[in-house]
């Protein structure tokens, strides 16, 4: 019984490892996101984009930092988490 379990485990590992190998030519992936040059933002979206750029200049580059900033700005979050917002009202 133990032999069978070890054999099945070894087969599973071998199959998993063989699935990780690349065969043939790799297919190119597209990671670039393009936007239409004719898209115009409404004033609120433009203001939010400007705030995100300014936050990046201040060192707030993570998604959680940006979301916390806007939550404090909109009044959904209060307390110590909003210290950065209070120091940098944009």
Locate the domains of the chain by residue range. 40-90
CA–chain centroid gap for 70, Å, is: 17
Average pLDDT, the chain: 76
pLDDT at residue 39 in the model = 72
**CA separation (Å) from 75 to 9, 30, 53?**
54, 39, 21
pTM over 0.75: no
Average pLDDT of span 69-89: 90
Average pLDDT of span 64-82: 92
How far is it, in rounded angstroms, from Cα 59 to Cα 52? 11
């Amino acid at each position: 019984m133990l032999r069978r379990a070890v054999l099945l485990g070894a087969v599973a590992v071998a199959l998993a490892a063989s699935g990780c190998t690349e065969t043939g030519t790799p297919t190119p992936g597209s990671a670039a996101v393009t936007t239409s040059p004719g898209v115009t933002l409404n004033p609120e979206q433009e203001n939010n984009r400007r705030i995100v750029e300014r936050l990046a200049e201040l060192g707030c580059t993570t998604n959680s930092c940006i979301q916390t900033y806007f939550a404090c700005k909109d009044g959904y979050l209060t307390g110590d988490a909003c210290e950065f917002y209070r120091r940098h009202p944009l």
